[in-house]
């Protein structure tokens, strides 16, 4: 099925992926395209609408990301932040460096009645810029301003060009979704023809075309991502798929057994379980660098297949549950690499299997919706995200069986208390991490010199940003008391209050 396309041109902004997600929330298919290839993409794909993202550079700089605006002629276009500034410059307006940077919550002055931004019932918006438009191009009208930003919004209705200096895609712009909805439907005239069911139909067709008569290995963990991939493969190529669960010894307490049981009940029993505890712990011995650990874990997943020659040689493809945030954090053409995800940048060059990643451009909430449309149980669909490297990225320093057991036991207590109180329902991700330091304590009138556990729980919509969950102190105190009393080797418990950014959700 051919969908109406909204192309989001990425100028390196931290919210570009969120723009894509917000468009998809409205039922409109959207793709992100790097600015370097955007002109060619727009000429070839002929999108129904284009959104120009924000970005960290200045449009006044010599190395400023650019775009040939002639390709946008006749296409409804919305410029956001950097996108508005570039639109102003390229169409004959002026942009100047601001004497004071405008960052955070701001309130718009009176908007022009009937204008694009008049749909905003709440005037709170989110700003993040150092330059500003000081003169709009010919044919444009200023439709909103703030105390320090003379052109907070501008439009040229006849040319179908609109710009906002603020970010409608973030939740801090209260009516941002309404603004995007107006652009997509009232201005661009989109139908909203992209749904989870449509995604499933398109993906099933794509998998059949890619696989043909080939055989597929599907790496599964029991989490929602790999489970949805397995369900898509079961629907598309059925018996041509073999599901493989590598038990690397870095799972949470009791999880390996739960995965086996859940998977064999949910899908066909064509599941191979590989116990690779000794292999992974052996390769990780003495390794402390987080990037090195991720690489080793990613490579050893494939080594497991290599050592099972009969399985490996009988298959042509390796299917993975890679998601869009994984791709972004591992480094896109316009974003800095934050950390390598084992299923994106951690696979070895010598791997002969061709990779299938049907969820590569989806966010977690979209994957859950697809899972529900496929009929997967809430036990699978609503499971908390768990990293492919497992506890390997929740243990700072060397990963050993003894240190894994400490984290498993502490994490079990934390999750048990969350379930008991029902607090788990408001949390995106929660876990216990083990630090690579020791501290002095007192237990039973004796000195201890043991390790601290860090508890982390966050709320999030898509893992691109996250906030620490605001637990009551007595809950944290209760969990802390249980951990130091029941887990050998721990004498302190800390709670991580840091948001993402500047931190990431995982510690490594």
- 37-75 residue pLDDT tens: 999 999 999 999 999 999 999 999 989 999 999 999 999
Mean pLDDT confidence for 410-416 = 97
Distances (CA, A) of 436 to 397, 439, 450, 451, 490: 5, 10, 10, 7, 12
How far apart CA 86 and CA 89 sit, in angstroms, is: 5
- Residue 462 pLDDT exceeds 80: no
Residue 70, classified by CB atoms within 10 Å of its CB into exposed (0-12), middle (13-18) or buried (19+), is exposed
Catalytic residues: 81, 167, 169
Mean pLDDT of 248-264: 86
Looking at the DSSP bridge assignments, the partners of residue 216 are 241, 317
Is 438 exposed, middle or buried (CB count within 10 Å of its CB: 0-12, 13-18, 19+)? middle
The mean pLDDT value for 309-322 works out to 79
Split at pLDDT 50, 70, 90, the class of 340 is very low
The gap from C-alpha 114 to its chain's centroid, in whole angstroms, comes to 36
Q: How far apart are the first and last CA of the chain?
A: 40
Give the residues across from 430 on adjacent strands: 457
- Phi/psi at 440 (5° precision): -80, 140
The listed range with the strongest mean pLDDT (128-132, 179-183, 256-260) is 179-183
- pLDDT (0 to 100) of residue 148: 83
Task: Spell out the domains of the chain, with CATH numbers in brackets.
Answer: 5-187 (3.40.50.880), 196-381 (3.40.50.620), 394-495 (3.30.300.10)
Q: What is the pTM of this model?
A: 0.71
Nearest one of 133, 179, 180 to 6, comparing CA atoms? 180
Cα(257)–Cα(264) distance, integer angstroms: 11
Does 345 have pLDDT greater than 50?
Answer: no
Query: CA 378, 370, 193: angle at the middle one, nearest 5?
Result: 140
* Least reliable range by pLDDT among 98-107, 207-216, 341-350: 341-350
Q: Which of 361, 407, 106, 363 is nearest to 251 (CA)?
A: 407
Secondary element (H or E) of residue 301: helix 290-307
The span from the CA of 482 to the CA of 34, in Å, is 50
pLDDT surpasses 80 at 173: yes
pLDDT digits (tens, 9 = 90+) for 129-154: 889 999 999 999 999 998 888 999 99
């Amino acid at each position: 099925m051919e969908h109406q396309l909204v192309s989001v041109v990425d100028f390196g902004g931290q919210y570009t992926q969120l723009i894509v997600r917000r468009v998809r929330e409205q039922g409109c298919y959207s793709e992100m395209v790097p600015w370097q290839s955007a002109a060619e993409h727009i000429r070839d794909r002929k999108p129904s609408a284009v959104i120009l993202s924000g970005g960290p550079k200045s449009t006044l700089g010599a190395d400023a990301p650019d775009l040939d605006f002639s390709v946008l002629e006749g296409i409804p276009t919305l410029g956001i932040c950097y996108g508005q500034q570039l639109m102003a410059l390229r169409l004959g307006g002026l942009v100047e460096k601001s004497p004071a940077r405008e960052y955070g919550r701001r309130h718009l002055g009176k908007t022009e009645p009937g204008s694009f931004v008049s749909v905003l019932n709440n005037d709170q918006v989110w700003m993040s810029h150092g330059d500003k438009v000081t003169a709009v191009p010919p044919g444009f009208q200023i439709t909103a301003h703030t105390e320090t930003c003379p052109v907070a919004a501008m439009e040229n209705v006849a040319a179908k060009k609109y710009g906002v200096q603020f970010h409608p895609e973030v939740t801090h712009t209260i009516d941002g979704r309404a603004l995007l909805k107006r652009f997509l439907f009232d201005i661009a005239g989109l139908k909203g023809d992209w749904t989870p069911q449509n995604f499933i139909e398109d993906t099933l067709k794509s998998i059949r075309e890619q696989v043909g008569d080939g055989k597929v290995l599907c790496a599964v963990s029991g989490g929602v991502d790999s489970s949805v991939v397995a369900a898509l493969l079961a629907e598309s190529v059925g018996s041509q798929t073999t599901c493989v669960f590598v038990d690397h010894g870095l799972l949470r307490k009791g999880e390996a057994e739960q995965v086996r049981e859940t998977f064999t009940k949910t899908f066909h029993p064509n599941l191979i379980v590989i116990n690779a505890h000794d292999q992974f712990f052996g390769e990780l011995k003495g390794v402390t660098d987080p990037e090195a650990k991720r690489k080793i874990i990613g490579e050893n997943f494939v080594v497991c297949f290599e050592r099972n020659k009969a399985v490996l040689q009988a298959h042509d493809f390796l299917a993975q549950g890679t998601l869009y945030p994984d791709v972004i954090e591992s480094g896109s053409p316009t974003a800095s690499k934050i950390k390598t995800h084992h299923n994106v940048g951690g696979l070895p060059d010598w791997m002969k299997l061709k990779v299938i990643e049907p969820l590569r451009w989806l966010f977690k909430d979209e994957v859950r919706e697809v899972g529900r449309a496929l009929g997967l149980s809430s036990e699978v669909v609503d499971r908390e995200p768990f990293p492919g490297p497992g506890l390997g990225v929740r243990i700072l320093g060397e990963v050993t069986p003894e240190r894994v057991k400490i984290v498993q036991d502490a994490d079990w207590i934390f999750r048990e208390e969350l379930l008991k109180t029902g607090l788990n329902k408001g949390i995106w991700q929660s876990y216990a991490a083990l630090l690579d330091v020791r501290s002095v304590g007192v237990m039973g009138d004796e000195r201890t010199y043991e390790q601290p556990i860090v508890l982390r729980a966050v709320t999030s919509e898509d893992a691109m940003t996250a906030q620490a969950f605001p637990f009551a102190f007595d809950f944290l105190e209760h969990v802390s008391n249980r951990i130091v009393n029941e887990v050998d080797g721990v004498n302190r418990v800390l709670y991580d209050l840091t948001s993402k950014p500047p931190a990431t959700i995982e510690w490594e």
